[in-house]
Structure 1
Amino acid sequence: MEWGPTPFEGISIKVLYEDKAQGETTCLLRWEPGATLPMHKHAAIEQSYVIEGSFGDHDGICRAGEYVWRQPGSFHETYSEEGAVILAVYRKPNVFKNSSGYGDDA
């Protein structure tokens, strides 16, 4: 299983499970030091477990061995100063801002 690119510089993905019809994904995300994920909305619960390194947002830093989840409708921008590998479980894809606000064509 190979690491693949994402639309975000410094972040690569290894998909472990995907149901495109339902929008569900379980994946590993590899963050290079200094990588950021722009402001986005969670359409459904997101769960993340940090395997190595750390990542954070306005609520704080999540380090190796820690778990964090985001409730549906929440917004945040995430970053990793040192790099990280994260196990992420999405019930629906994140929604990123586009020219008309937050929507599917981001």
Structure 2
Amino acid sequence: MAESNIKASFSNAVSGSQRATLDDLVWDTQTKPGVSVAILYRHETSGEYTALVDMAPGTNYAAHTHQLLEEVFVISGTFYDNEKVYRTGDYVIREPGAVHTTRADEDCRVLVTYRRF
């Protein structure tokens, strides 16, 4: 079954759609200092999910990988990985197992999706 951290419920959905505003989101600030995550959609069985991620200046992740395909769209700000600088409007997709780093030198908001390849 699909889950969401959005306060809304599918029981109130029209035509199977679920909608939310930024005020509806539940932000997890316990993941890492300087990082806030709002899960928009999560499929517990497959592990797939979509989230908004806010990173404060100075936030970084050491080299790591993901088991799922990762898509990142930069909504605002700038972040870096070991290959490139990504600015507002930029998009990157990584296949499962791709080693990368992440760093934000300014406030940054990204939409991240992890899904089966």
Whether the TM-score (by the shorter chain) exceeds 0.5 is yes
Q: What's the CA shift string for 1:1-52, capped at 9, x where partnerless?
A: 2221242211110110001211011000000011112321121210000000
Structure number with greater CO (CA < 8 Å, separation at least 6) is 1
More strand by proportion, 1 or 2?
Answer: 1
Q: Normalized against structure 1, the TM-score is what?
A: 0.80
**Of the candidates 71, 79, 83, which is equivalent to residue 55 of structure 1?**
79
Cα distance in 2 between the residues matched to 1:44 and 1:27 = 14
Q: Counterparts in 2 of 1:61-80, with a 5 A limit?
A: 61-80=85-104
Cα distance in 2 between the residues matched to 1:14 and 1:63 = 21
| Structure 1 unmatched runs, 5+ | 93-106
Cα distance in 2 between the residues matched to 1:20 and 1:90 = 12
Aligned length: 92
Q: Which of these two proteins has the greater Rg computed from alpha carbons?
A: 2
| Structure 2 unmatched runs, 5+ | 1-24
Q: Normalized against structure 2, the TM-score is what?
A: 0.73
More helix by proportion, 1 or 2?
Answer: 2
